[in-house]
Structure formats: structure tokens, C-alpha cells
Amino acid sequence: MPKPLILSVVGARPNFMKVAPLHRVFATPEMLALVEHRIVHTGQHYDAAMSDAFFHDLEMPEPAYFLGIGSGSHAEQTARVMMEFEKVCLESKPALVLVVGDVNSTIAATLTATKLGIPVAHVEAGLRSGDRTMPEELNRIATDALSDYAFVTEQSGMDNLLRENFRKERLFLVGNTMIDSLHFALPKARQASILNELGVASKEYALVTLHRPSNVDDVAQLRALITMLFEATSECAVVFPVHPRTRKNLERFGLLNLIESSPRFVLTEPQGYVNFLALMMNARFVMTDSGGVQEETTALGVPCLTLRTTTERPATCEYGTNILVPPTQENIQTALQNALKGVFRTDGVPASVPPLWDGKAAERIATIILRECLSH
């Protein structure tokens, strides 16, 4: 009898951190005897700094399949993944497809597999921002509606899926594979020399990432954000590894000059995972609109200002170091002044790490998959 095949689908930057620990668990001799695990890379992200760098830092093998999808409108990108992934499914006949997160590759692979009658397990299921203007929220809702199994990172995800009538016996609170990757890479991050390379000192800079369309696609919003960050450089250095979507818009809107006019505004290419972890660990605080960065800063105990009106990861605010800052000028200026003074949580409760974010989520998922998902 051939071993059952599991295909894990990755496409965009945050997917790699979520799948790498699963691949490591499935590569152990005990697991190899029972299942075969292959990685499918859709190619949604393709620049070396948005893709290859993570395979290297997370010690992942080359993907078994590369679909070469690239950029495009939502419909184009989703449709191209579906067309190419369908061929992979028909040829390889997986027993289970694993999808992670909330990007276009996630929903595209889910739709393709479920229509072929292949069971799908969603890792990081159940998160909801409640904001349907976010493309990711639509991807999350649709992916969970179709998935057969849900692996959930935090209690809010369980509550959301139970409310949406997800089958209780196929719903598992397992923790966070992104935090597994963080534990894996921390020793390397402690050795990284990126702070020296960028000329910044530990706890003397703010680290910034921005890539949500609501923050970076609108000229007035992006100009306002960059202007505030520029003003903050009079108080502390700002390190800004720029996502390609944001880079394009900074160029298009003529905002690069403003950044370059402050020597303490350090603009860089997207960083590899190990370097980025080193930058997070040593930051005075982080400002971001990323999903994953909210979780990693909570795991590291580093203060995080999230420049959004909602979060699908409320555990990071409830337990951790995350503060939601709806991104208006007044809100950001107040939050920045507090952050520069070292004022963060106002409820007096010490920050902690959410339950099960202990570096062992992938092991739990693999055990459940063997027990529950391959026997039907």
C-alpha cells in the first residue's frame, strides 16, 4: 500500500513560517514511515526576498511543485492557482490538502481540492476581523466554510467557528505554528549581525512594516503615515523593511525623498526571517499592520502598535503586547508619544503568551492528522 500523501500549500511570505514546522515534523523517521508530505509553492510571492530567503532560513527543502502564479488581480491570481493546483491534485492524488492562513493561494487551493472531493485541513482557522473590506477576511470565511478540519491558534477562533456551525468534532485548538518557527529560529536570530549592518542599537529604534492596501494603496493615507514616521525620527531611529507593494506605492506617490531626507529613517529591502526576528527582538517597539508580526511580538514580549481598526488576533491584545491603533493622525501621534515614553498596556495586567503558543503546535497537528484525518 502506498503511504497517504499530504500536500501543504504555500504561496505568500507568512505561509512559509506556518508550514515549515509541519514539514519538519513530517520528516521525522516515525512520520516518514506513515505518511508522505510534499510542499506545493504557488509562486504568489516570487522575489528572492519574499520567498527563497525563507526556505533558506527555515531550512525547508525546495517545494515538490512550483506553480509560478505570480501577481495579478484577485480573480486572476486565484483562478491561476486553481487551474495549476488542480493538475497537481489530479496527478498526485493526495489524501489530504493542508492550507494555512488567509491569502489568495489559501482559498484557491481549498476550493480546488474540495471540488475534487479531497479533504482539506485549514491551519490558523477561525480568525475573524469582522471587516469584510479586507480581502483576507473573505478568504478566511470562504476557506473555513469549505474546510473539513480546522486547526485553531487561539480561543476566539474556536468561538467564531462554533458560531458558524463548524463541526465540533473536527475543530482543534492546537496553538500556533508560526510561533513554532519563531522558537526554531531564535538561536540563529541571537547571532545575527543585522543591527550592526543597519547602524542601529538594541532598544534604540522602532521597527515598522506596512503592507495592507488600506494603509499603503491610498496616497493620502500613506503620505500621512510616512510623515508621522519621519517626525518620529527626531526621537528615535525608524527601521522600515519595505514590502514590494509598499515600495511600488512609495515610488508612485513620490514619498521616497521624504524618507531619504532623515538619516535616522532606515529603509531596507524585505528582510529574511532570521534578520527580521533579530530586528523585532531588539526593537524598542514595533509598528505594523501585519497579521503575523502581531503574534510574534506577543511571543517575544516586545510592544506592538498595530495600525488598523480591527484585529483577527484578539489574543495578542488580551494576553500579549499588542495595542490596536486605528490609523488616524491623532491616534497614531498619541500612541507614538506613549510608546516613546515606554507606556504600553494601560490595564496594569502583565503581558503573557497565549495558551499553547509553546513551539509544539505542529506536533499536535501531525498527531491529530494521523489519528483523525487520514482514516476516513
> Which one of the listed residues 23, 211, 243, 376 is annotated catalytic?
211
Nearest in space to 301 (alpha carbons), one of 325, 315, 278, 285: 285
- 241 φ, ψ (degrees, to nearest 5): -75, 120
- Under the binding rule (CB under 6 A), the answer on residue 290 touching ligand UDP is yes
Query: Has 211 been annotated as catalytic?
Result: yes
Asked if 107 contacts 139 with a C-beta cutoff of 8 angstroms, the reply is yes
Residue 143 or 147 with smaller CB distance to ligand UD1: 143
Helix (H/G/I), strand (E/B), else coil: 316: helix
Residue 50 or 79 with smaller CB distance to ligand UD1: 50
CA torsion sign for 61, 242, 237, 327 is: negative
Residue 131 or 358 with smaller CB distance to ligand UD1: 131
Gap between the Cα atoms of 135 and 152, Å rounded: 20
Residue 88 or 103 with smaller CB distance to ligand UD1: 103
Give the three cell numbers for residue 356: 499553547
Helix (H/G/I), strand (E/B), else coil: 7: strand
Residue 163 or 248 with smaller CB distance to ligand UD1: 248
> At which residue does the C-alpha cell 532606515 appear?
266
Query: Minimal distance in Å, beta carbon 269 to ligand UDP?
Result: 8
CA angle 184, 193, 278 (to 5 degrees): 40
Nearest in space to 149 (alpha carbons), one of 376, 322, 309, 338: 376
- Under the binding rule (CB under 6 A), the answer on residue 362 touching ligand UDP is no
Out of 56, 248, 254, 352, the only residue in the binding site for ligand UD1 (CB under 6 A) is: 248
- Under the binding rule (CB under 6 A), the answer on residue 289 touching ligand UD1 is no
- Under the binding rule (CB under 6 A), the answer on residue 103 touching ligand UD1 is yes
- Under the binding rule (CB under 6 A), the answer on residue 270 touching ligand UDP is yes
Out of 14, 94, 157, 359, the only residue in the binding site for ligand UDP (CB under 6 A) is: 14
- Under the binding rule (CB under 6 A), the answer on residue 282 touching ligand UDP is no
CA angle 77, 83, 88 (to 5 degrees): 120
273-282 and 291-300 are packed helices; what angle lies between their axes, rounded to 10 degrees? 50
Gap between the Cα atoms of 6 and 159, Å rounded: 28
Question: 98 vs 15, 38, 121, 153, 180, CA distance in Å?
Answer: 11, 10, 5, 15, 17
Question: What residue 296 binds from ligand UD1, ligand UDP, none (CB within 5 to 8 A, per partner kind)?
Answer: ligand UDP
- End-to-end CA gap in the chain: 16
Question: What residue 46 binds from ligand UD1, ligand UDP, none (CB within 5 to 8 A, per partner kind)?
Answer: ligand UD1
Residue 31 or 98 with smaller CB distance to ligand UD1: 98
- Under the binding rule (CB under 6 A), the answer on residue 291 touching ligand UDP is yes
In this chain, which stretch among 149-157, 214-222, 292-300, 348-356 interacts with ligand UDP, using CB under 6 A? 292-300
Number of C-beta neighbours around residue 170 at 10 A: 17
* Span 20-79, contacts to ligand UDP by CB under 6 A: none
- The secondary structure of the chain in percent helix, strand, coil, rounded to multiples of 5, reads 50, 15, 35
For strand 304-306 and strand 285-288, is the pairing parallel, antiparallel, or unpaired? parallel
Binding mask 7-26 for ligand UD1 (x = CB under 6 A): -----xxx------------
Question: What residue 248 binds from ligand UDP, ligand UD1, none (CB within 5 to 8 A, per partner kind)?
Answer: ligand UD1
In this chain, which stretch among 11-19, 24-32, 106-114, 217-225 interacts with ligand UDP, using CB under 6 A? 11-19
Query: Minimal distance in Å, beta carbon 170 to ligand UDP?
Result: 25
- Under the binding rule (CB under 6 A), the answer on residue 17 touching ligand UDP is yes
Residues that bind ligand UDP (CB under 6 A): 13-14, 17, 209, 211, 241, 270-271, 273, 276, 290-293, 296
Residues that bind ligand UD1 (CB under 6 A): 12-14, 44-47, 50, 71, 102-104, 135-136, 211, 243-245, 248
Catalytic residues: 211
